[in-house]
Structure 1
Amino acid sequence: MGASGSPATDREITVCLAGDVMLGRGIDQVLPHPGDPRLAEPWVTDARAYVEMAEAANGPIPRPTAYDRPWGDLLEELRAIEPDAWVLNLETSVTQTAGFAPGKSVHYRMNPANLPCLAAARPDVCVLANNHVLDFGRAGLAETLDSLRAAGLRTAGAGGDAAEAWRPARVTLRPPPSRRGSASRHGPRLLVFSVGLPSRGIPLDWAATADRSGIALASASPPATAAGLVARVRGARRAGDLVAVSIHWGSNWGYRVPPEQVRFAHALVDGGADLVHGHSSHHPRPLEVYRGRLILYGCGDLVDDYEGITGHEQYRDDLRLLYTARLDKDTGALRGLRLTPFQAAA
């Protein structure tokens, strides 16, 4: 791929990014510890039906399947890249809690005992400010957070209160040559902020408050939300840090990027973000380089149980992308981008 695909230099960091990872429902059912398969969907009442659809489309799936199997060839690619940071949107509650969140037609839940599947990908940050992490209420969210913490998985975007939900995840990076040997005891970091927007249909009462658990949900006007995020970035950042803002927004289908999303992303970059990581679309959407910074408007799904579901074939949602960005350690500017395609198959 020429310069865009060449290895990172000593003055760069490599960040791998992906969109939605949905390890609940059908995928949970084929792992070694399947949870309760009951669903509250108007069209499917048993999660095993999604396994049957996938098998009808692509052939038999062993049950139980190995924890690493849902990732396919991705794990080999990650081992070859050895990124400095690896960020994905975990769009699944991790709980055995009963009680479906009201007012929703689709709920995702994986058994905490199946967390070795997520751990097999070794993500540095799982962002959680999305429209499925509270699918089983605040009790389900509490178990999700406790389970991920116990597994040693770092999160951003959800918490026991607003302070925790809005707090960025921090990934320590190798210092650039210009700062090695510094007297500072603190190395540079990648700060990952996670926020959900109402445009994704996230219930407003999922927002974390000072005395209530939930997600980092930005319900103010887009300009006010962007200004608030910029203030949080500036308050958390210290010298040498790079900043990624991960956003769950927009519709599931379609290639058009709304002008308000463009303005929002530009405001974040203007305010100091080095990378904007957008997701929720089930297929990749356009990307942009603005003022030398990468903006991903929709990364598409990475892992889900949609095989065999028809209706949107024109978008080729069976094709998945891993985004590998090389950023300048000193400035955060984009030095190169590699898009690695995969195809979903049972």
Structure 2
Amino acid sequence: MRTLFRLRRRPLLRGALVAVAALIPLALLAGCAPMRHASAPVAPEAAPRAATVVMNGDLLWHNTLVFDAQRAASGPDPTLDFRPLLDGVRPVVETADMAICHNEVPVARPGGPYSYYPAFKAPQETLDAVKDVGYDLCTTASNHSLDDGWDGLVRTLDAMDARGIAHAGTARSQEEADAPRTFTTADGVRIAVVTGTYDTNGIPRPKGKHWSVPDLDADTLLRRAAWARAGGADIVLVAIHGGDEYSSQPNAQQRRLADQLTASPDVDLVYGHHVHVVQPWTKVNGKWVVFGLGNLVAQHKANVPRGYEGVTARFTFREESGGFTVERAEFIPTLVTPSRAGKPARLFLVNTALAAGEGDSQRLRVAQERTRGVVHSLGGTEGLIES
């Protein structure tokens, strides 16, 4: 919190005024210059506003993650609790001015039934953990958005609303689809998120509701970014849900969109998810592009170890005369451990865990080195900090 201190002018007593007046002739006789009235104090200028934004990769609730929570709930408290899993990223999330998750899948009715790959329905308690850890907004446009049809899409947004989690992506009405999704920080910085997905796994959008799941048409994304800017957004982020699964490099669509979007004055930064592995960071048209954040929480096959690795983005924007620009860019490697009998999956901030001597140091170092190499693989990352 910034506190402005104002100088207070204390009026002189009348006797003091008389005394000063009596001295003036003596001062003139002595050759002193006449006294000048002191100018009014100038209030200090307000410091430029700043905002730190954190973005994570996919929250993909595979069955073993739910089984972990069910085993933990078999005691006196039957509530499914996913907070122990997400607690690993809490120090980064709760200290951000705005924290964004990607809620990959719809939620089921309270109590289930739940379903998993290839058509997901996650427990609503996952959203309780998302809220508790400190996320402010979640993107919801993904290839799994319609896994439980229109009802599942609506149920998920209703469940987020009930918990006070803002969302960007899927929509329950044309008006909701077109309205800018903007979050205002405690310092009054308005940050908008525009997003879309490459596909819905072949599931058609509900009849007459083509707007329910936004796609990756560049003109549409740019039009919505312009609406957000015109609506008062100080910072506009575009989240791309696309790319080739398990590829550590962006595909042609990702590259094309990055170029088209960053060329617009209405877009400040582009980032992506979906491919389940970390992809490079770079600058395009002078703006940061994070092609892929990997997974934050997921349980892929044992022969896809990169699916357990992710990277958290943390960008600090500062206000300048022409708007907000990135003052500090950071990447934070993460690792989620596999679920094992008697040993539930847990999420680690890789560098923090290594420094503290926590977790499997050999596995953490593998994730650290691999993430570091991929993030810098395209170049253009001067000034990027690893945290």
| TM-score (normalizing by structure 1) | 0.72
Aligned to 1:93, what secondary structure does the other structure show?
Answer: coil
Among 96, 100, 106, the alignment partner of 1:87 is 100
What is the Cα-based RMSD across aligned positions, in Å?
3.0
CA contact (8 A) 2:82 2:125 kept: no
Task: Give the AA of the match of 2:214.
Answer: A
Per the TM alignment, residue 212 of structure 1 is displaced from its structure 2 partner at its CA by 6.2
Per the TM alignment, residue 24 of structure 1 is displaced from its structure 2 partner at its CA by 5.1
Listed one character per residue, the Cα deviations across residues 83-137 of structure 1 (whole Å, up to 9, x for unaligned) are 111112101211137698xxx9612222224532222222111101101122111
Partners in 1 of 2:51 and 2:267 — Cα distance? 15
Per the TM alignment, residue 156 of structure 1 is displaced from its structure 2 partner at its CA by 1.0
Partners in 2 of 1:34 and 1:167 — Cα distance? 40
Q: Superposition pairs for residues 142-161 of structure 1, below 5 Å?
A: 142-161=154-173
Are residues 115 and 255 of structure 1, via their aligned partners in 2, closer, same or farther at CA, if it must alter by over 3 Å? closer
Aligned to 1:230, what secondary structure does the other structure show?
Answer: helix
Unaligned runs of 5+ in 2: 1-46, 338-344, 346-387
Are residues 338 and 188 of structure 1, via their aligned partners in 2, closer, same or farther at CA, if it must alter by over 3 Å? closer
Q: Superposition pairs for residues 169-184 of structure 1, below 5 Å?
A: 169-174=181-186
Partners in 1 of 2:236 and 2:177 — Cα distance? 17
Report the equivalent of 1:42.
Answer: none
CA contact (8 A) 1:19 1:302 kept: yes
Among 57, 72, 80, the alignment partner of 1:19 is 57
Task: Give the AA of the match of 1:203.
Answer: G
Report the equivalent of 2:348.
Answer: none
Aligned to 1:140, what secondary structure does the other structure show?
Answer: helix
Partners in 1 of 2:267 and 2:201 — Cα distance? 24
Report the equivalent of 2:89.
Answer: 74
Among 221, 225, 233, the alignment partner of 1:229 is 221
Per the TM alignment, residue 67 of structure 1 is displaced from its structure 2 partner at its CA by 3.0
Corresponding pairs, count: 283
Per the TM alignment, residue 10 of structure 1 is displaced from its structure 2 partner at its CA by 5.0
Partners in 2 of 1:312 and 1:18 — Cα distance? 19
Are residues 167 and 31 of structure 1, via their aligned partners in 2, closer, same or farther at CA, if it must alter by over 3 Å? farther
Report the equivalent of 2:235.
Answer: 242
Q: Superposition pairs for residues 122-141 of structure 1, below 5 Å?
A: 122-141=134-153
CA contact (8 A) 1:279 1:298 kept: yes
Larger Rg: 2
**Which structure would you say has the larger RCO, counting Cα contacts within 8 Å and 6 or more residues apart?**
1
Listed one character per residue, the Cα deviations across residues 300-341 of structure 1 (whole Å, up to 9, x for unaligned) are 0001133xx22334xx33222211011233433222211112
Report the equivalent of 1:317.
Answer: 307
Q: Superposition pairs for residues 158-237 of structure 1, below 5 Å?
A: 158-174=170-186, 187-198=188-199, 202-203=201-202, 205-206=204-205, 211=209, 214-218=212-216, 225-237=217-229
Are residues 287 and 328 of structure 1, via their aligned partners in 2, closer, same or farther at CA, if it must alter by over 3 Å? same
Unaligned runs of 5+ in 1: 1-8, 36-62, 176-186, 219-224
Percent identity at matched positions? 22
